[in-house]
Amino acid sequence: MTHHATGPAAHSHHGHGHSSGPVALPRSRATAAVLAALAVAAIAVISTIALTWPQQRRHDIPLQYRDEHGHALRTESASVRGVVLTNCANPLVSEVLRDPPQVSPQPDGMCFDATIVVTSGPDANRYVLLEIPTNRVTQGLAKDSSSADDGVVRPGPGQPRLEAGEQIRVIAHNGPEGRSYNFDDFQRRSPMMLWAALFAVVVVAVAGWRGLRALIGLAVAFAVLTLYTLPSLLNGASATLVATVSAIAILALVLPLAHGLNWRTASALTGTFVALGCTALAGWLIIDSAHVSGLSEEANNDLQVYLGNVAMPGVLLAGFIIGSLGVLNDVTITQASAVFELAEANLARAQVFRSAMRVGRDHIASTVYTLLFAYAGGALPLFLLLSVSGRPLADLLTSDAVATEFARSVVGGIGLALSVPLTTAVAVALLPHDGSPGRSAGTGPQARPDAAQG
């Protein structure tokens, strides 16, 4: 006997053509098994989080993030008043000044002197002179040099290009002769908030209520990462366990939030959880077999030096797992939607599976490109640097730096490919044997997976 959900019908739309109407499912062994599996996963995740919840511990501040007294570096806001090309080694550089310094322009100078006004902290409204070496210092202007500049004087490599009116952050140093300041970074708070607001407006304008729920899901995912994942990793907990539990918790919260509590979400979650396990296993195997250390990246090296209790292979694997969440979420919910939409055509379950797999194969083909190009784009500076290293191509392609990016791509691709048949099989198993589920409230935001148990 078919038991239909009693809630009002709700329509559900997704960028990949998700089901436009709800599907009611009969009570069966498959629905009971899926609910049981999700319940077991929920209990396991909650128990693991409770057992591994990070305790408050004091961690030594890495050398590059602390001042001369061992405290965390303090930064202040500042505004650039003017920039002048002049000679280097001005004795007033970095000192706190009551009045704006007088700097004489020198057309043949080797440095830019930037006058800034500190706008926060104990030295607010005081002046500081920052010195920025130019390309004349680091490269020279020889026209016949392959690494020489084009004759235009500009800040040297790694030096900031400052202009009047720009907002920056400066690092405060407390020395025996008083406070001094050095450039830290550009002030990005305002533009980043503006772009974040624009992103939210575009998502909500296009996706409506579902877009808003997706944004809330992002906030939830960020909370899980900052409140549990990162502190647990810092405390030396198993990176693989923490990352897997975090990934399951994020998906268990985000998927229902964005797509509602329904059988489509339940089947997508089940398929994703199994695919995550396969992703973790593949990541562990490739890190172990290819001896990928990740130590070619400066941040990873610093992590190994200053936080010896954090195992680098585990952190790499955790990154692989968390990095695969986006594509797994996208693919699994799309596959589940395709199955329930195809089921409306009164096809047999075998026909639904074959048709959904055709959709899934197309999705895999396009998403694999997305995955690989995203990683390749992020590693582009690394590839450019390696291309001029003069080493044999075979050595470059098997270096630790390239192997790390290769492992990320391969692990994500394996999880992506396996998630399609897994999710499709789970969703098809939930269908009645005649492949013709009733149309009722089963995929709207008010529908619940246990509605079919009624």
- On whether residue 8 sits in a domain, the answer given is no
pLDDT of 246 strictly over 50: yes
Residue 128 β-bridge partners: 96, 116
Q: How far apart are CA 19 and CA 411, in angstroms?
A: 30
Same structural domain, 310 and 376: yes
- On whether residue 11 sits in a domain, the answer given is no
Q: What is the mean pLDDT of the chain?
A: 81
Provide the pLDDT for residue 432: 79
Same structural domain, 167 and 281: no
Handedness of CA 398, 400, 401, 405 (dihedral sign): positive
Parent domain of 163: 66-187
- On whether residue 339 sits in a domain, the answer given is yes
Q: How far apart are CA 29 and CA 4, in angstroms?
A: 16
Provide the pLDDT for residue 107: 87
Element (H, E) at 255: helix 239-259
Closest CA to 321 of 392, 373, 245: 245
Judge contact between 114 and 80, C-beta under 8 A.
yes
Same structural domain, 78 and 46: no
Same structural domain, 240 and 271: yes
Same structural domain, 145 and 285: no
- On whether residue 309 sits in a domain, the answer given is yes
Structural domain ending residue among the three candidates 187, 217, 249 = 187
In this prediction, residues 177-196 reach a mean pLDDT of 92
- HSE-up (13 A, CA, CB side) for residue 38: 24
Same structural domain, 228 and 175: no
Same structural domain, 230 and 262: yes
Cβ contacts of 201 within 8 Å, gap of 6 or more: none
Provide the pLDDT for residue 26: 60
Q: Which amino acid is at 44?
A: A
Same structural domain, 53 and 79: no
- On whether residue 14 sits in a domain, the answer given is no
pLDDT of 161 strictly over 60: yes
pTM over 0.95: no
Same structural domain, 109 and 40: no
Q: Which residue is listed with tokens 């999700």?
A: 38
Tokens of 429: 């198993």
Backbone conformation region of residue 70, classed left if phi is above 0, alpha if psi is from -120 to 50, else beta: left
- On whether residue 201 sits in a domain, the answer given is no
Q: Which residue has the higher pLDDT, 244 or 6?
A: 244
Provide the pLDDT for residue 206: 95
Judge contact between 129 and 93, C-beta under 8 A.
yes
- On whether residue 265 sits in a domain, the answer given is yes
Q: How far apart are CA 355 and CA 352, in angstroms?
A: 5
Same structural domain, 254 and 144: no
Same structural domain, 340 and 289: yes
pLDDT of 129 strictly over 90: yes
Residue 111 β-bridge partners: 86, 133
Which strands sit side by side in the sheet containing 127-133, from one edge to the other? 96-97, 127-133, 111-118, 74-86, 167-175, 178-186
Tokens of 169: 């952050």
- On whether residue 329 sits in a domain, the answer given is yes
pLDDT tier at 3, thresholds 50, 70, 90? very low
φ, ψ of residue 73 in degrees (nearest 5): -60, 140
What per-residue string of b and e applies to 257-296 under the rule 16 or more CB within 10 Å gives b?
bbbbbbbbbbbbbbbbbbbbebbbebbbebbeeeebbbeb
In this prediction, residues 180-193 reach a mean pLDDT of 93
User: What SS3 class is residue 80?
Assistant: strand
Same structural domain, 171 and 254: no
Residue 225 is classified by DSSP as I
pLDDT tier at 295, thresholds 50, 70, 90? low
Count of domains forming the chain: 2
